[in-house]
Amino acid sequence: MVTTLLVANRGEIARRIFRTARRMGLRTVAIYSDADARLPFVREADAAIRIGPAPATESYLAIDRVIAAAREAKADLVHPGYGFLAERPEFASAVDAAGMRFVGPPPSVLRSLGDKAEAKTIAERVKVPVVPGYRGDDQSDEAFLRAARSIHYPAMIKPVAGGGGIGMQTVREESQLRDALARARRIATAAFGDERLLMERLVERPRHVEVQVLADTHGTVFTVGDRDCSAQRRHQKILEEAPAPTVNDATRDRMAAAAIAIAREAGYRNAGTVEFVIDQDGRFYFLEVNARLQVEHPVTEMVSGVDLVEQQLRIALGGPLGAQRKQQGTQHAVEARIYAEDPASGFLPSTGRLVHVRWPERPGIRVDAGYEEGDVVTRHYDPLLAKVIAVGDDRGSALSLLASALEETEVLGVRTNLGLLRALVRKFADLRTRIDTEFVESVLADLVPESPPAPHEAYAVAAAAVASGARDRGDPWTGTGAWRIGEGSATTIVLREGAREQAVRLLGSGPYVYAGHRVAARDEAHRWLVDGSHAAAAASDGIVWTSVGGTTWELETGPLERQIEAAAGAEVAAPMPGLVIAAQAVVDRRVRRGDLLFVVEAMKMELRVEAPADGMVTRVLANVGQQVERGQRLAEFEADPI
C-alpha cells in the first residue's frame, strides 16, 4: 500500500505539493539543508530529514543523499517539484532503482526531451514547426559561425541541457559571436554540467505561449489549456496568465494538437508543458518541453479546476486520467512572482531576515509562499518568495483583483520587486496592444525609477516603530541607541538614509505626531496608520524597514558613521555573496574604467565586477573558485590622479 511521499525540493513548491498529498491521505516527508532548517515547508511536513549543508551541490542536488533520505523515510513516491533534480534522468533512474515511484516522466523521456536538439527532432517528426537553426555535433566556434551566416543574424545561443532561460545569449552581429559562445558554455557547464550549445534564428518580439499536457500510462494524452508567459525579464518570467489572451481559437486548437502529437511521439507520461513562440505574423514554433510541473501551474488550476499535483500523483500510481474535461473555463487568472531582489540596483538578489510579512487574503486570491515572517532569505537558492494568483470573470477583473492584492502585500526585511509588479499590473490593465517577450524590458526604465528619498511619512512611521519597540522592551537606553526622551512627551529618534541623517522629534507617546503627520499603531504587529492610510514598519539589527503607499524604504538607526577612503584608492568588491567564476585582474596591468576584472556567480546570475576608474590593479585578492561575501575586496586598485 502506498502511504508516503517525499518531496525532493524546498520552499513554496514543497508546501504546495504537501497540501494536495495531505488531502489524498499521504504521509509527507521534507528534505532540507542547513540553510532551510527553520522554513515553513520543513515545519509543515509530517517528517523532515536533513540532507546536508547549504550549497545545493551538497544537498538538494546530491542524488545519493536524496535517495538515502527517501530510503530512511520509507517513501513510496518521490516528487521532484521543479528545478534542482526535477529533469535529471539519472535521478529518476535512481528513484526507480531504489524501488520507489518517480512522480514524473520515465528517465528515457527526460533524457530525450532534456536534450533541446533531440526535442526539436521529435517535433519535426510529427510536422510541428521549429525555428531554423543549428544543433549539430560539431561544437566548434567555426561551426557556429558557418551556421549563423546560413540562418542570418540576429541569432540566439542556448544550452542544449537545462532550461529557465539560463545561459541564453542574443547575438546581433558576427563580432559578438565568439564571446557569446564562451559565456554560454561557461554558464551551461556550471549550471548543467554540459557545455553543448545550439543556435536558432532569433524570433524578434515573440509571444511565449505554453500548453499544459497530462499523459497517463494507459495511452491517454490531453491538454489542460494554455498560458501566456511573455512578461519576462532576461528570459525569466514575471507575470503569467491563463488562457493566453491574444491567441485566436484556430491557433489555440493547432497548438494543442501539436503538443499532444509531441507528447505521444516522445512517449510522455505525467504532467508537462510544451512551449511555443508566436511571431508577429501569428505563426507558432516549437520551443521546448518542460518535463515537470511549472512554476506558473496555479493559473491553469484556477481556470480549469484541475489539481495538477493530484493528477501527477494518480498517474504515478498507475491510475487513468479518465474523460477529458473542458480545457479551460470562461474565467481568467494572472500570477505575479514576488522575488527578493532590488530592481533599482540591477535586480541584485536581496538577503536577510523577513521582519514583517503580510500576504493578501481575499476571495479570488491564492498565495503560494515559501517564506513567512521571521524566516531568513539566504544567498544559496532562487530568491522567489511567493506567487500571488488572482482569478476573475475576465482578464480585466483578474488584473484589478491582482492589483489590489499586491497593494495589500507587505514584505519588510529584504528588497523586493513588489513596486515593479504593481506598476506592471497597472500597465497590463491599461494596455490595449499585445504583450511580447521584450515588453517588460522596453518599459523597465519608466517602471523602475531611481528610488526617491524617504518622505516625512516614512520617517514618521519608522521613528514610531523604533520608539514603540524600545518602550516595549522596557530599556530604552540599551534598546536601540538611537532615541532619547526629551522634556515633556517628546521623543527624538536619529535615522539616516544613505548619507542623509535626520533627527525625528515625535510629539506624544502614541499616537505620535511628526511634521504634521499623525502616526497611530494598529492592532496588528508592525501595522500603522499614517494620516489614516495604512503603513508598515519593523526594526531589526539597526535597520528600520518602512512601507508607505506601496513603496519600501530602508533607514538606519543610530549616529552617522563616517567612512574614510584612501585618497587615491577605489573599491573593487563583490556586489553580493557568490562564487568567483572568472578573474581577469592582473597586477600592474593598466585598465580603463569599466574593464572587466572579475565575474561573480550568485543566484543564477553572472555579476560583472569592473574597474571603477582608469588605473592599475596593485594586488589580486580573489581567485576563480573562491566563495566571497558581499562587499569583500577582490583586488586592491590604484586610480589615476584626476
pLDDT digits (tens, 9 = 90+) for 534-574: 889 988 778 899 988 778 888 988 643 322 223 234 578 88
Select from 426, 447, 468 the last residue of a domain. 447
How many whole angstroms separate alpha carbon 609 and alpha carbon 617? 13
Residue 108 is assigned to a structural domain of this protein: no
For residues 153-181, give the mean pLDDT.
Answer: 91
Residue 114 is assigned to a structural domain of this protein: no
Buried b / exposed e along 124-136 (16+ C-beta atoms within 10 A): eebebebbebbbe
- pLDDT band, residue 455 (cuts 50/70/90): confident
392 vs 519, residue with greater confidence:
392
Residue 109 is assigned to a structural domain of this protein: no
pTM: 0.83
Same domain (yes/no): 274, 370: yes
pLDDT at 285 > cutoff 70: yes
| pLDDT at residue 474, rounded to an integer | 45
CA quadruple 29, 33, 35, 37: dihedral sign: positive
Same domain (yes/no): 310, 428: yes
Check: CB of residue 184 under 8 Å from CB of residue 169. Answer: yes
Same domain (yes/no): 174, 229: no
200: its cell numbers: 536558432
| pLDDT at residue 508, rounded to an integer | 65
How many whole angstroms separate alpha carbon 229 and alpha carbon 335? 10
| pLDDT at residue 323, rounded to an integer | 66
Same domain (yes/no): 252, 196: no
For residues 183-210, give the mean pLDDT.
Answer: 91
pLDDT at 433 > cutoff 90: no
Percent of the chain with pLDDT strictly greater than 70: 90
Q: 363-408 pLDDT, tens per residue?
A: 999 999 999 999 999 999 999 999 999 999 999 999 999 999 999 9
How many whole angstroms separate alpha carbon 407 and alpha carbon 421? 10
- pLDDT band, residue 495 (cuts 50/70/90): confident
Largest CA distance in the chain: 84
pLDDT at 514 > cutoff 90: no
pLDDT at 286 > cutoff 90: yes
CATH number at residue 148: 3.30.1490.20
Q: 41-85 pLDDT, tens per residue?
A: 999 999 999 999 999 999 999 999 999 999 999 999 999 999 999
Q: What is the mean pLDDT of the chain?
A: 88
pLDDT at 463 > cutoff 90: no
| pLDDT at residue 452, rounded to an integer | 75
CATH number at residue 522: 3.30.700
- pLDDT band, residue 526 (cuts 50/70/90): confident
Residue 59 is assigned to a structural domain of this protein: yes
Residue 534, beta-bridge partner list: 529
Same domain (yes/no): 150, 43: no
Q: 573-623 pLDDT, tens per residue?
A: 887 788 899 999 999 999 998 899 999 887 667 788 989 888 999 999 999
Residue 261 is assigned to a structural domain of this protein: yes
CATH number at residue 87: 3.40.50.20
For residues 88-100, give the mean pLDDT.
Answer: 98
Same domain (yes/no): 619, 527: no
For residues 30-34, give the mean pLDDT.
Answer: 98
Residue 274 is assigned to a structural domain of this protein: yes
Same domain (yes/no): 405, 344: yes
> What residue has cell string 542544449?
160
Residue 518 is assigned to a structural domain of this protein: yes
Same domain (yes/no): 178, 214: no
Residue 192 belongs to what domain range? 132-201
How many whole angstroms separate alpha carbon 242 and alpha carbon 253? 15
How many whole angstroms separate alpha carbon 189 and alpha carbon 476? 54
pLDDT at 638 > cutoff 90: no
Q: 312-352 pLDDT, tens per residue?
A: 999 999 999 976 655 556 899 999 999 999 888 888 899 99
Select from 406, 430, 447 the last residue of a domain. 447
| pLDDT at residue 231, rounded to an integer | 92
pLDDT at 267 > cutoff 70: yes
Select from 409, 428, 447 the last residue of a domain. 447
- pLDDT band, residue 496 (cuts 50/70/90): confident
Same domain (yes/no): 184, 224: no
588: its cell numbers: 600592474
pLDDT at 482 > cutoff 80: no
SS (H, E, C) 217-269: CCCCEEEEEEEEEEEEECCEEEEEEECCCCCCHHHHHHHHHHHHHHHHHHCCC
- pLDDT band, residue 304 (cuts 50/70/90): very high
Greatest mean pLDDT among 26-30, 446-450, 475-479, 497-501: 26-30
Greatest mean pLDDT among 422-436, 519-533, 534-548: 534-548
CA quadruple 554, 559, 562, 563: dihedral sign: negative
Q: 102-134 pLDDT, tens per residue?
A: 999 999 999 999 998 899 999 999 999 999 999
pLDDT at 226 > cutoff 60: yes
pLDDT at 183 > cutoff 70: yes
| pLDDT at residue 509, rounded to an integer | 64
Question: What is the distance between the terminal CA atoms of the chain, rounded to a whole angstrom?
Answer: 77
Same domain (yes/no): 387, 242: yes
| pLDDT at residue 299, rounded to an integer | 98
Same domain (yes/no): 229, 168: no
What total number of domains does the chain contain?
5
Same domain (yes/no): 178, 300: no
How many whole angstroms separate alpha carbon 534 and alpha carbon 378? 29
Check: CB of residue 299 under 8 Å from CB of residue 240. Answer: yes
Residue 123 is assigned to a structural domain of this protein: no
| pLDDT at residue 570, rounded to an integer | 58
For residues 293-313, give the mean pLDDT.
Answer: 97
CATH number at residue 275: 3.30.470.20
For residues 624-637, give the mean pLDDT.
Answer: 88
